[in-house]
Amino acid sequence: MKINSINISSFGRLEDYKMDFHDGFNLIYGENENGKTTVMEFIKMMFYGSIQTSRTSLDKNARKKYLPWSGKPMAGSIDFENGGVRYRLLREFRGSNSTDKITLMNLDLGKSENLTGKSDVGYAVFSIGGAAFEKSVFIDNSVVMGSSADADGEINARLANIKDTGDEDVSLEKVIKRINSAKENLISKSGKKGRLADAREALKLLGNELITAENTDNEREKMQQFLDTKEIDAADILRQRGELFEKLKNSEKSELKSKLLEFVKQAELYEECERTLTLTDGQKASKEFCAEIDAALDEVTAAEIAARQQKAAVDALTDEIATMQNAKNAFADTDALKREKASVTERLREKETMLHSITLAAQPTKARFNPILLILGALLIAVGILGGVLSEMPALFVFSAVGIILLLLSFILKPNNKNAAEASDAKAACEKEINELNGRLDELDRQINDITVRVSTNESIIAAKREEALKRQTELLNTQNTLAALTAKLLSLAGRYKPLGDIDAVRAAVDEIENNLAQLDRYKIAAEYAAKGTKCSTLADAKEKLALLSDTPTDGGDHAKYQEELGALDKKKNALATEIAEIKTELRTKFKGVRSVPEIENEMAAIKAEIDEMDRYYEALLVAEDTLNSAFSELRRSFGGVMEGRALDIFARLTDNKYSTVTVSKNFDISVSDRDNFGMHSAEYLSRGATHQAYFALRLALSELLGGESGGLPILLDDVFSQYDDKRLLTAFRFLAEYSEENQVIFFTCHGDCRQIAENSGANIINM
């Protein structure tokens, strides 16, 4: 491969600048500021664009550093030949490699080549990247190779495939880059980004969430346990309530049983009582029945009373008649009075005789009454009575009244008897005696008359009494008959209850019935009272229920006490229920939305599985990377000898065979050993000129190796021998002249001695 010419339209200070190159050794001479470095940089940038870009360092920003002074667009072209084909590369520099306008003309065919990656046109031409270009064929005055991973990687990769197999497409750098890219896709260099890092972070966050969830679960569990204890308490209370309810139930059953027993007892007594009240006709004795009997009894009683009264009356009349009869009999016994009267009369007569004698002796005797008035009076009485009765004129009875008055006056207005004095005393005595006798006689007469009257009256009364007694007796008989009938009726009526002998028995029966009826009512009331709450209305019901309660004790405990205890327990229960409800509400709300441990664990498991996959992949990437590096090392050991051999060959020629060994590390650090001293020495310990020679040798060796079978690469040298003494300079140019027989050499210098030596060595001199 060789560069034929360049045509700079505008690049830095150069404007419409052309330069042709020859095959072999080209030396471009120019003084400082003539544009040597600009031309060299132009060539590099035509192929690679800007390899480095820095906003702050102008040296590291060629696109900025070489902005045309004319202000025209940075542009140019370069003609080169590769593989026997002539090309022209045209490039208009813009903002970046990717925006540069690049055209590669096949001059032989007269058409543009298709550039798939136009920014990599240098790679297409030289088969090496920009960094490798800078470290191999592009040799400026800083010959010593600094460490650059990219360049080292590429060069190493290129070297690693030096052609035993012709496989040029493989680049260790690219392979490693791809692997690193895959690694970084999983975990970035910072370790903070990438799928695996993200997944691990997600897993870590989930781990934290899991801890939180577990803490939450613990808290929830504790609350749940607390709730459980409360619920156990509640259950215990419910159990106690249950027991109390059982007791209450038993006590209620006992109470019911007691009531039923009482009900049955009362009901049986009632029935028994009712049986005693069953009448012969099957009907039940009732108050009406009793009233009926009572009515009959009242009739009988009334009849009895009447009979008794009537009998009493009869008896009284009989007694009265007997008394009156006795009295009559007593009156009828007037003989003593009569005898006394006779005696008195006798004596009176004697006295009167005596008096008469005396009176006759002394004075005539005075009449005891006025006979005229007496007769007149009697007459008027008779006229008045008769006239009043017969003429029915009550006024006529006045005559009778006048008659009576006259009659009385007859005894008052009697004529006076005036006798002698002497005889007067005797007479007086006699008269006194006579008066007493008369008085006695009158008394006796009155008594006898009275007795007579009374006897007469008694007899009529007795007769009347007898008549009345008879009447009463009749009535009594009637009454007694009625009584007998009523009694018979009563007995018949009351006999419906039970056979009864007499009224007293009836009364006793009525009393008994009434007592039984009252008892029946009492039994009924008692039974009804007992039946309350039993839901039984009949004895049969009660007995049926009782049968069901056969095992129930009658003493079921203190119902009221149980209810009181139940009330207290209910209060506790309600308080506990409230507390439980509050805990449950808190449990339901406090943890709402918090993901559960299994949910998180499931998600973690899924992520872990993914992480495991990625870990395995990452591990595989590491293994691949490690294996690639070790494979490279192994390979490098095989190609290293070639590179080192060629470098030693060049180095020896440049140093007149002073050094016997050159070793190059992976990082292109050079160690040498000279023929006179044992041991390897790092190039850093050599003189500056020797160090430059060593690295120059290495770069040329690399260029040869990188150029490969398709032809050597042109090398671009920018005053690389400035550190050399004359001898080294001469040796170096001689070597370059030989080297240029195989590879185009373009050497830029501002030193006239270099130009001279090169010219002497056969170089084509191009003056700028």
Partner 1 sequence: MNNSVRILHTADWHLGAAFSYLSHAKRQTRKAELILTGEKILNICKKNEIPLLLLPGDVFDSNSANADTVSAFLGCVRKYSDTRVVIAAGNHDPLTADSPFLCSPLPQNLYILGTNDECIYFEDIGVRVYGKSFKNVYMQSSERFSIIPPTDDIINIMVLHGDTEADSNYNRITPEFIRNSGMDYIALGHIHTFSGVRQLDSVYYAYPGCPEPHGFDETGEMGVICAVVSKGKVEHQFVPTAARRHETVRIDIGAATDNAAAAEIVKAELRSRFGETFDKNLYKIILCGEIQENMNISTDEVLARIADDVFFAKLRNETRFSADLQSLSNENTLKGKFVKTMLEKISAEPDNKALDSALNIGLRAFFTEVKYDEN
| Residues making contact with partner 1 (CB under 8 A) | 157, 160-161, 164-165, 167, 169-170, 172, 174-176, 178-179, 181-182, 185-186, 195-196, 217, 220-221, 223-224, 227, 583-584, 587-588, 591-599, 603, 606, 609, 613-614, 616-625, 627-628, 630-632, 634-635, 638
Residue appearing with tokens 């005898």: 339
Residue pair 231/574 in contact (Cβ under 8 Å)? The answer is no
Q: Toward partner 1, which CB reaches closer, 173 or 320?
A: 173
Closest contact distance (angstroms) between CB of 604 and partner 1 is 13
Could you tell me the smallest distance in angstroms from the CB atom of residue 243 to partner 1? 21
Please name the residue ranges forming H helices in 23-148: 36-48, 62-65, 121-126, 130-135
3-state SS assignment for residue 514: helix
Q: Least distance (Å) from partner 1 to the CB of residue 241?
A: 20
- Burial of 406 by CB count in 10 Å (0-12 exposed, 13-18 middle, 19+ buried)? buried
Given a contact cutoff of 8 angstroms between Cβ atoms, the answer to whether 33 and 115 are in contact is: no
Contact at 8 Å (CB) between 26 and 768?
A: no
Shortest reach from residue 230's CB to partner 1, in Å:
11
Q: Which is nearer to partner 1, 642 or 768 (CB)?
A: 642
Q: Provide, rounded to whole angstroms, the least separation between the CB of residue 613 and partner 1.
A: 7
Return phi, psi of residue 128, to 5°: -140, 155
Coil, helix or strand for 34? coil
CA atoms within 13 A on the CB side of 520: 18
CB of 147 to partner 1, least distance (A): 21
Nearer of residues 47 and 618 to partner 1, judged by Cβ: 618
Contact 675, 658 (CB under 8 A): yes
Give start and end residues of each alpha helix (H) in 127-194.
130-135, 149-160, 172-186
Residue 762 beta carbon to partner 1: minimum distance, rounded to whole angstroms = 39
Toward partner 1, which CB reaches closer, 366 or 616? 616
Give the shortest CB-35-to-partner 1 separation in angstroms.
41
Instruction: Please report, as a single letter, which amino acid is at residue 304.
Output: E
Q: What sign does the CA torsion over 610, 615, 616, 617 have?
A: positive
CB 610 within 8 A of CB 199: yes
Integer CA distances (angstroms), 587 to 220, 260, 580, 702, in order: 7, 52, 10, 77
d(CA 179, CA 158): 18
How far CA 342 is from CA of 265, 351, 355, 445, in Å, comes to: 96, 14, 19, 11
- In the complex, the smallest distance separating the C-beta of residue 49 from partner 1, rounded to whole angstroms, is 23
If DSSP codes are grouped into helix, strand and coil, which group holds residue 78?
Answer: strand
Is 52 or 596 the residue whose CB approaches partner 1 more closely? 596
| Complex with partner 1: residue 182 or 379, whichever CB lies closer | 182
- Residue 250 CA to residue 166 CA, distance in Å, equals 109
The dihedral over CA atoms of 263, 264, 270, 275, expressed in degrees to the nearest 10, equals 170
In the complex, what is the shortest distance from the CB of residue 579 to partner 1, in angstroms, rounded to a whole number?
13
What is the rounded distance in angstroms from the CA atom of residue 697 to the CA atom of residue 728?
Answer: 13
Q: How far is CA 386 from CA 376, 380, 391, 687, in A?
A: 15, 10, 8, 224
Residue whose CB is less far from partner 1, 176 or 650: 176
What's the closest the beta carbon of residue 234 comes to partner 1, in angstroms?
Answer: 14
Q: How far apart are CA 556 and CA 250, in angstroms?
A: 6
Nearer to partner 1, 208 or 449 (CB): 208
Q: Which of 175, 683 has the CB closer to partner 1?
A: 175
Q: Tokens for 431?
A: 């008269």
Q: Which is nearer to partner 1, 109 or 605 (CB)?
A: 605
The distance of closest approach from Cβ of residue 152 to partner 1 in the complex, given in angstroms and rounded to an integer, is: 15
- CB nearer to partner 1: pick between 171 and 655: 171
How far apart are alpha carbons 450 and 444 in whole angstroms? Answer: 9
For residue 466, how many other CB atoms are within 10 A of its CB?
17
Give the CB-side neighbour count of residue 479, counting CA atoms within 13 A.
Answer: 22
525 Cβ partners below 8 Å, 6+ apart?
none
Lateral strand order in the sheet of 75-82: 14-20, 2-11, 75-82, 85-92, 101-106, 111-112
Nearer Cβ to partner 1 (369/617): 617
Residue 373 token pair: 């008035």
**Which of 31/582 has CB closer to partner 1?**
582
CB closer to partner 1 out of 109 and 620:
620
In angstroms, give the least distance from the CB of 709 to partner 1.
15
Are 160 and 635 contacting, i.e. CB atoms less than 8 angstroms apart?
yes
Instruction: Give the shortest CB-601-to-partner 1 separation in angstroms.
Output: 9
- Name which of 169 and 551 has its Cβ closer to partner 1: 169
Please report how close the Cβ of residue 556 comes to partner 1 at its closest, in angstroms.
Answer: 32
Report, in Å, the least distance between residue 633 CB and partner 1.
9
Q: Give residue 731's identity as a one-letter amino acid code.
A: T
Is the CB of 222 or the CB of 349 nearer to partner 1?
222
